[in-house]
Amino acid sequence: MAKRKRRRGGTAVLAPPSEPQVRPGLVGLGRPVPRSIPKPPYIPGGEPGPARAPLVRSAEEIALMRRAGTAAAEVLLIAGESVAPGVTTDEIDAVVHDATVARGAYPSPLGYRGFPKSTCTSVNEVICHGIPDSRPLADGDIVNVDVTVYLDGVHGDTNCTFLVGDVDQHSEHLVRETRQALYAGIAAVRQGAVLNEVGRAIEQHADANSLGVVREFIGHGIGTEFHGVIQVPHYYESRANLELLSGMSFTIEPMLNLGTADLYLWDDDWTAVTLDGRRSAQFEHTLIVTEAGSEVMTLTDSGACAADRYL
C-alpha cells in the first residue's frame, strides 16, 4: 500500500475523465481475523499516529522482517494463481485473507485508516488502492494485487501486476517495463548512496520507455510501522537527499502509466485512477539497505516472487 506524498505547490487532480472505463462494484464486509492473531497497533481504531520508529532496523527486527517478507511473497504467489477472467476482485481478497491468516499473520490493510478489505486490487487505469469488489476480471485486463502482512510485530509489503488472459501489446509493454523500473530502482540502493538516486533510476527507465511516472504516491519506510518516516519518490527529487545507511528499510513501488501521470480519486477517497483513462501498472518489494547493496525481503525461502513467476 503506497504512501500518499504531500506535494508542495500542488495536489492530485480531482476532475474525472470523460469516459471512465472501470466502474466500482459492490464492496462486501471485511473478513474476520482470528482473535489468536496479534493485531497491529492501529487496530481497532485505524489511525496509526505519527511515525516514530528509528530509520535503521535492529538485527532482531531484520530477522523478523525476513519472515514477514517471506510470508507476504508466498501470499502474493497464491493470489496470482487465482487471477483469471471471470474471477472477482473480492474473490482475490478472500484468497489473500485466507492465505495470510493461515500463516498466523494479520492482513495489514484491513482497517488501516478505515480501509475495508484485506488487500488492494487495482484494475486497468486504477493506479493504486483499489478496493476489492464484485467486478469480475475480464479477458485482457491487468490487475495489481498489493499484499501486506503483519507478523511478529513487523510488516512485509509487496505487490505485482498480473496479466488477465490475452492482453494487448501496449499493456504487456507497460507491465514488463514497470517491473524493470522496480529493479532499476533496487539496483541504485547501497550504503552511502543518496535516496534520490532510486527515483532517478526509475524515472530514466520510464522515460526511455515513454511511460508516465506517478508522483502522488511513493515508497515508504517499513518495519514495526506500516508506513515509516522514509519517503521514496519514484522520480528524481533533489530534496530526497537522505544518505542510505546499512539497516534502513523501505519499499520501492513505482507506478507507471501509458499516458499522463495525472490522476483523480474516486468518492471512496482511496481509489486513484488515471485522468486520461489509460492503464497503469505497479510492482513493489520491501528491502533492507546493506553494505553491498540491498536485500530484498519479500521473496520466498527459495528466492521466488510473483513478479518473476507470472511474467
Domains of the chain with CATH codes: 54-309 (3.90.230.10)
Q: Hey, which bits of the chain come out as E strands?
A: 3-4, 106-107, 120-123, 126-128, 142-151, 154-163, 212-213, 217-220, 231-232, 249-252, 255-257, 263-265, 272-274, 280-282, 285-289, 294-296
Yes or no: say if 54 and 221 are a contact pair by the CB < 8 Å rule: no
**253-295 pLDDT, tens digit each:** 999 999 989 999 999 999 999 999 999 999 999 999 999 999 9
pLDDT of 5: 67
Confidence of residue 121 (pLDDT cuts 50, 70, 90): very high
Element (H, E) at 174: helix 169-187
pLDDT of 3: 85
pLDDT of 10: 37
Mean pLDDT estimate for the chain: 94
Orientation angle between helical segments 59-82 and 89-102, nearest 10 degrees: 140
Query: How large a percentage of the chain has pLDDT more than 70?
Result: 95
Confidence of residue 11 (pLDDT cuts 50, 70, 90): very low
For the segment 47-66, the average pLDDT, to the nearest whole number, is 96
Confidence of residue 13 (pLDDT cuts 50, 70, 90): very low
